[in-house]
Amino acid sequence: MPQTIRFHLDENVNGAIAEGLRRRGIDVTTSPEQGLMGTSDAEQLQFALSQNRVIFTQDDDFLRLHHAGINHSGIIYCKQNSRSIGGILQFLVLIWECLEPEEISDRVEFI
């Protein structure tokens, strides 16, 4: 059975996005739920990697970590205030439906 993408949402992401993903049966964790509030972006990226989770963020610092060559399970980035919660959910569900975890590993997808 093929693996599906599992998400991790950093602390800056609206909790309604996690709820929307869960309503669709998608596996998601959040920084507050995992006790990662206030940890560095590098630590959050390491947590996501250790759990084989693609991190969704609206924090530019994750792009800098990617460009610095830090390994990760994938980063999905959306600029703050550029899309509605519903729009973000549509893109995340589409990524979940269309990509395998290995296809996004060490890559950044922009939405």
Chain segment 8-23, per-residue pLDDT in tens: 999 989 999 999 999 9
Distances (CA, A) of 48 to 52, 81, 99: 6, 24, 17
Rounded to whole angstroms, how far apart are CA atoms 29 and 61?
20
Instruction: Check residue 73 and report its DSSP letter.
Output: S
Q: Which fold has domain 7-110?
A: Rossmann fold (3.40.50)
- pLDDT per residue as tens digits for the range 43-100: 999 999 999 999 999 999 999 999 999 999 999 999 999 999 999 999 999 999 999 9
